[in-house]
């Protein structure tokens, strides 16, 4: 089974968001174990990431459409031992030091999102990527 860890600054308190994330976790559960880790602040985020390579969700990162994202993620899972770590920074984004540690910077959009919205968009795009990979009509 593939494993995705998402490290995000801030709490996920809203019931609607918890329900939406739980729905995507359920949809992904046959192929992916999705683990959410909450960082208290930027220093804690850096500590949780440690020296591990990760994907930084960064507004200045690479923009991809959904089919290209699916291809890239499937390739990364194959290359990186079936495990990927994503990080969502706080209001100030990531430090330059932490960004240099990321092996890929991915932009969800040039727009700015709350960390809550970024979690939901990430979860949906992960699900969409797997559905594209299996040839499901979900993406259409």
* pTM across the whole model: 0.94
Model pLDDT, residue 42: 86
* Tokens (6 digits) for 2: 């593939």
DSSP-assigned beta bridge partners for residue 85: 5
Reported as a single tens digit per residue, the pLDDT across 11-46 is 888 999 999 999 999 999 999 999 999 999 888 999
Reported as a single tens digit per residue, the pLDDT across 84-140 is 999 998 888 898 989 999 999 999 999 988 889 999 999 999 999 999 999 998 876
Domain 1-8+53-134, CATH class in plain words? alpha beta
Instruction: Give which of 140, 41, 58 is closest to 100, Cα–Cα.
Output: 58
Model pLDDT, residue 34: 96
Q: Which residue has the tokens 């200045």?
A: 60
């Amino acid at each position: 089974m593939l494993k995705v860890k998402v490290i995000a600054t801030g709490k996920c308190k809203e019931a609607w968001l918890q329900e939406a994330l739980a729905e995507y976790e359920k949809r992904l559960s046959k192929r992916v174990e999705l683990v959410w880790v909450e960082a208290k602040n930027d220093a804690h985020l850096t500590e949780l990431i440690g020296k591990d390579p990760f994907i930084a969700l960064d507004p200045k990162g690479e923009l991809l459409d959904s089919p290209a994202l699916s291809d890239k993620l499937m390739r990364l899972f194959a290359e990186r031992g079936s495990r990927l770590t994503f990080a969502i920074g706080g209001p100030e984004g990531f430090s330059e030091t932490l960004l240099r540690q990321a092996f890929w910077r991915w932009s969800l959009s040039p727009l700015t999102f709350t960390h809550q919205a970024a979690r939901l968009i990430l979860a949906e795009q992960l699900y969409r990527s797997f559905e594209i990979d299996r040839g499901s009509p979900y993406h259409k």
